[in-house]
Chain A
Amino acid sequence: MEMIAPEDQRTAQSAATAKSEDALLDISLGPHHPSTHGVFRMDVVLDGERVVKLKPVFGYLHRNHEKIAESVSYLASMPYTDRLDYMCSLTNNWAYALTVEKLAGIQVPERAEYIRVITAELTRLQNHASTIGFLMQEMGASGTPLMYAFREREIILDLFESLTGSRMMSNYMRFGGCRVDLPYGWLKQTEKVVAEFPRFLDEFERLLSSNEILLARTQGVGVLSKKLAIQGGITGPMLRASGVNYDIRKVDKYGIYDRFDFRVPIGEHGDVYDRFMIRLLEMRESLKILTQALRDITAGPIMDTKTKIRGFRPKAGEAYGRIESPKGELGFFLISDGSPQPYRYRVRPPSLINLTVLEDMCLGASVADTVVIFGTVDIVLGEVDR
């Protein structure tokens, strides 16, 4: 193969640009491409290898979850929320339960709050670990980092299975508490998992964060400015990587998050590397919360006894509740008209809204980088399409 000097390459590129329109190439990336995390498609216009236009296309998994939820009782939507973001069903449960509790003014007993925090932070651990694994897969590190992450994820999913009866589709939380109490020995087992998790994190960090190829592929790629991040409604690790200090656990202090001592990691550049590092650091903070919660959890009831499970009818009105799910702000908006079904049931999906700025981040990037940038948004199509 003939070697081309960088200067010649640049001239060749600008010649291609000069030809303008007919040099542009329209391609459709997805919907069955392995890097699109499900059935997601991007209409990309390329100038050589550079992206000049990118339009995301969704809806392949659309089943109108909101319409279905409006035709059944409040509780009947609880198992369906598992299927939104199927990586983190326990946080979905929590967001929905929290909103209904706001709507009907239900108090949650203390032990249930602790269980919620513990399960939510475990969910965050397994979600961030596998997101990083998938990200590495998309950079070409085929298999190994992903399998390392999945090994740890499976340990956490085993805990979920022993608690809720299912690895992923937990259907665990109820309005005013949780469905069942912790099984015998669960706390001890969780303590063991939490104590061993830092070893995996250290290994993962040593393996990845100073890897030369990873640095070359991630630093300065897909930069998202602070201003655009706020304007575009970006939430979660992606927002914090752009340098905005906004974590709903700190802002709203929902549940009992005001009792724990933890920090919010903030990025500086807003590039892919920052988004990757934020997730690693957040896992360490989650471990801190978990250690405190496992230490402080008290005995007591797990359900509010005054809440009716059958024939549950909140007073007419509306409520918007939100939590910090691993992917960003997961919100539910409910309008009640006093009947057993919600009049309006709305999910505010972080995955969908975080895709708003995908085009802005990808403009000028190569196709290979587009895949990596897309990977750091961290989406699940079950939630994007609903």
Chain B
Amino acid sequence: MTTITLRNLRKEFDDVVAVNGLDLTVRDGEFLVVVGPSGCGKSTTLRLLAGLETATDGEIRMDDRDVTHTEPKDRNVAMVFQNYALYPHMTGRRNITFGMNATDSFADEEIDRRVAEAAETLDITDLLDRKPQAMSGGERQRVALGRAIVRDPDAFLMDEPLSNLDAKLRIQMRAELTRLHAELGTTTVYVTHDQTEAMTLGERVVVMDDGRIQQVDPPQALYDFPTNRFVAEFIGDPAMNMIDVAVEDGVAVHDGFRIPLPSGKTVDGTDGEWLDGTEAEALADPDAGDRPTAVLGIRPEDLYPARDRPDLGETTFDATVEVTEPLGDSLLVHCSVGDATFKMGAEPRSSLEPGGTVSVTYDPARLHLFAPETGEAFYHSATAPAPAGRIDATTND
């Protein structure tokens, strides 16, 4: 059981800054997912944790131990790789025991017992005498997991372990990983580029971009209260609509619509003060002139054709249907209003034709405002107080 603390962690490759001043605490026994687009520094961070890369600056602590410059083998972490990294010439059992044999720190009976135990947990007993060549992708990944858990490491580091599996198997393994973590309770850092994986697996999710942490929060908080445009657009599929608006008298004003901003919560107010639309206006850029004073963010799933949701209130606006994409469980409608385009989720069998006009309504509790220059969120209309974990997360222990 281990708490991992990163302080101002920095990694440069020649003139590229891969990780730029990371401060993060991975709590004891936590399943932490690091997500971000490729090149955001998430894999480098994991490799720094493993000791496969040397930090340019900053500090890594595991509990009270400073491991910043410790050799990988002395960190007692186990890593699971995207390509499984099994030794092709060894059987499953040999793959699992090879590392344990190498260090001489385990007696033979101990090894046998642990292998049997891990094989039981992962249901790979019949794979032990097979070589990787004779295993499917899922089976290989299980053996690789087995190799990681037999050593009873202080932390698991997983680098996109499911990306090479097909969609169905991936979902199955996802559930399995969750179960495994519940069973073992080992601190886990899991890197992925897939936001669905991040949301489903993580107790907390770290969103990274450009070598920096954008936000650390439990999945739902990430979805409900993104701290900036990057997180808002990265989490959620299809991505959040972003429309340039002016904020006047607590109303988001656009050529095609006027959306009143209900009382909400400011991200900026460190004491967690509540903010109404008028105050949001004060935070918006008053000297913007012709430029938009704010960017309004609404998720496609929070927009509805007005006739589907008469309960949502009287504020509606008309938009032109451009394209419709049936997704089976819903219909994704691309609309335009004035110079803005947005996507909207509609009932799957709605009769919306391209070129037609649709009256659009929205969930007033799900509005977000972002500063046009910095992209920082300064207003969320959600009135629900943030869960305890979130307050914790912003201070980051």
Bound pair (A, B): no
